[in-house]
Amino acid sequence: MRRGTAIAFAALDRIELVEINIPDLQPDEVLVETAITALSQGTDRAMVAGNYRGVQDRYPFVYGYSRVGIVREAGAAVTAFKPGDRVFGGMAGTRLDPADGMGEIGGSYTSWGVLHQSDLVSIPAAMADNVAALGAIAAIAYQGVAAANVRANQRVLVAGLGAVGQFGAFFARLRGAQVWGMDPVASRREMAGALSGALPLDPAGDVAATIEAQGWGTRPWPGRNNPPAARYEQRRWSGAAGVVDVVIDATGRPDAFEAYVPLLAREGTLCLQGYYMKPLTLDFHASHMKRLTIKTPGGLDQVDYETALRLMPLADIGRLVGRTIAVADVPTVLPDLLFRPPSDVVCAIVDWRTGAVTR
């Protein structure tokens, strides 16, 4: 049996490199040698810190949902891929050897992946490995934008300009929306402006007044019916006005409803794209009077990953990668990145290739 390496979330606040067995292929499986895995900094932090619901019952385990690599072997029944193909593997992770003590299925943080052929996506030849790896995070953001049904000329506020927020602003702009990117870190606001044209918004300022002053053009009517002729209904609409049509929150802030409901127009949409470690409290009356739609997207679908790959070449996505970590350095570098994150690192990747250097 082949041997490999895995990044294990070994216990609370403990990250280790461990050796694992690589299971023999079943007829419909593919063996992938990992080149790059993208880190999901927010989720990884919650997993290692024990804040993700149920995670403390899972240690030790292998996480990760974004693997880019090369097919090295294919089972006898595999028809979609052949050795040498460059592929992406996402949420499906990899089959593990239970003898290693980390279950039968693990995530993408392994040097080799054993995946069913249906769980892989071919990567376009012109796309760099680091960009293709970010496609998983892009797909998560795309799912949020699609779920919120962002439309041309709507006003969209994206709060939190980490990786998911940066991609959320990018995809919302591609749909023709007016987009504001809000983050306390100036460099992240500047990056969103350069990447997607999102207008920078400092949460310390008057958010509503700034959006109202900068917004322009004709907003699409937000209601499911046409604008009302009845005077009573007109009063109801004017009494529930708001400066934005969609809020995409990628911060996971515990007061999300309190913060965003006042900003939303009637029949607007609040997309909760962060991870909320504690139950959120909804002021039902305020949301009820505005007839708000709440969306809670999670994970990524392969079709969203494929869509993200088609759209990502429209911008310089590679500039989002602020840190490349050689796999040998993960136990020392990754804890600092997760728990003492530098503000200028929006995305980070792990390089599994021999001779990789942290930079």
Residue 231 CB contacts under 8 Å (≥ 6 apart), including other chains: none
Q: Are residues 150 and 288 in the same domain?
A: yes
Would you call the peptide bond into 342 cis, given omega within 30 degrees of 0 as the criterion? Answer: no
Determine how β-strand 178-182 pairs with β-strand 199-201: parallel
| pLDDT band, residue 342 (cuts 50/70/90) | confident
Q: Is 359 contained in some domain?
A: no
How distant is the alpha carbon of residue 171 from its chain centre?
Answer: 12
Q: Write the single-letter amino acid at 212.
A: E
The pLDDT, as a whole number, for residue 358 is 80
Q: Are 83 and 74 in contact (CB under 8 A)?
A: yes
Q: Are residues 288 and 172 in the same domain?
A: yes
Ramachandran class of 153: left when φ > 0, alpha when ψ lies in -120 to 50, beta otherwise:
left
pLDDT in tens, 31-63: 999 999 999 999 999 999 999 999 999 999 999
How many residues belong to the chain? 359
The pLDDT, as a whole number, for residue 356 is 73
Q: The CATH number of the domain where 166 resides is what?
A: 3.40.50.720
Q: Is 220 contained in some domain?
A: yes
Q: Are residues 283 and 180 in the same domain?
A: yes
Q: Is 129 contained in some domain?
A: no
The pLDDT, as a whole number, for residue 343 is 82
Residue 55 gets which letter from DSSP?
Answer: G
Q: Is 237 contained in some domain?
A: yes
Q: Is 301 contained in some domain?
A: no
Q: Is 238 contained in some domain?
A: yes
Residue 315 CB contacts under 8 Å (≥ 6 apart), including other chains: 170, 195, 196
Sheet holding 2-11, edge to edge: 14-22, 2-11, 61-62
Query: For residue 150, which of 178, 183, 181 has the smallest C-alpha distance?
Result: 178
Q: Are 181 and 192 in contact (CB under 8 A)?
A: yes
How distant is the alpha carbon of residue 135 from its chain centre?
Answer: 9
* Distance, CA of 248 to CA of 141 (rounded, Å): 9
The pLDDT, as a whole number, for residue 355 is 76
Q: Are residues 339 and 274 in the same domain?
A: no
Question: How many domains is the chain built from?
Answer: 2
As given in the structure block, the two tokens for residue 210 are 């700034």
Please state, for a pLDDT cut of 90, what percent of the chain lies above it: 92
pLDDT in tens, 15-33: 999 999 999 999 999 999 9
Q: Are residues 49 and 154 in the same domain?
A: no
For residues 92 and 214, which has the higher predicted lDDT (pLDDT)? 214
Q: Are residues 80 and 21 in the same domain?
A: yes
Q: Is 282 contained in some domain?
A: yes
The pLDDT, as a whole number, for residue 121 is 96
pLDDT in tens, 159-181: 999 999 999 999 999 999 999 99
pTM attached to this predicted model: 0.96
Q: Are residues 148 and 290 in the same domain?
A: yes
* Distance, CA of 357 to CA of 359 (rounded, Å): 6
Q: Tell me the average pLDDT across 134-145.
A: 96
Ramachandran class of 268: left when φ > 0, alpha when ψ lies in -120 to 50, beta otherwise:
beta
Per the DSSP assignment, residues forming a β-bridge with 272 are: 249
Q: Tell me the average pLDDT across 214-224.
A: 93
pLDDT in tens, 89-125: 998 889 999 999 999 999 999 999 999 999 999 999 9
pLDDT in tens, 279-333: 999 999 999 999 999 999 998 899 999 999 999 999 999 999 999 999 999 999 9
DSSP 3-state helix, strand, coil percentages of the chain (rounded to 5)? 35, 25, 40
Q: Is 111 contained in some domain?
A: yes
Identify the domain containing residue 192 by its residue range: 143-295
